[in-house]
Amino acid sequence: MRSPLVDAMPAAMQASEAGIDFTPDGQVKVGPDFVALYAAWAEGVAAMARAGARVIVDDVFLGGAASQQGWQKSDTSS
């Protein structure tokens, strides 16, 4: 099952080195366009949380620790 973010992306960003690519062997490769889109999406989610919306993020960190750091910077729980 893919994420709503990936499903909503333009077709040009899917299966593209600049966007996101799902390889036959199960790898997920993300390019710079996907990273930029994801960062904008995450900032939007963080803004909703800062405005008072109750948000639970269930995410797969495709970029490892670097992906997690983005959410930590947006943490509004403290």
Does residue 40 form part of some domain? yes
Number of domains, the chain: 1
Per residue, the 3-state secondary structure of 55-69, as one string, reads CCCCCCCCCCHHHHH
pLDDT of residue 15: 74
- Residue range(s) defining the domain that contains residue 26: 4-73
Residue from 30, 10, 75 nearest 49 by CA = 75
pLDDT of residue 39: 84
pLDDT of residue 67: 72
Consecutive 10-residue averages of pLDDT for the chain (78 residues): 77 85 87 88 88 87 72 64
pLDDT of residue 35: 86
The CATH number that applies at residue 14 is: 3.40.50.300
Output the pTM of the full model: 0.73
Contacts (Cβ under 8 Å, ≥6 apart) of 61: 67, 68
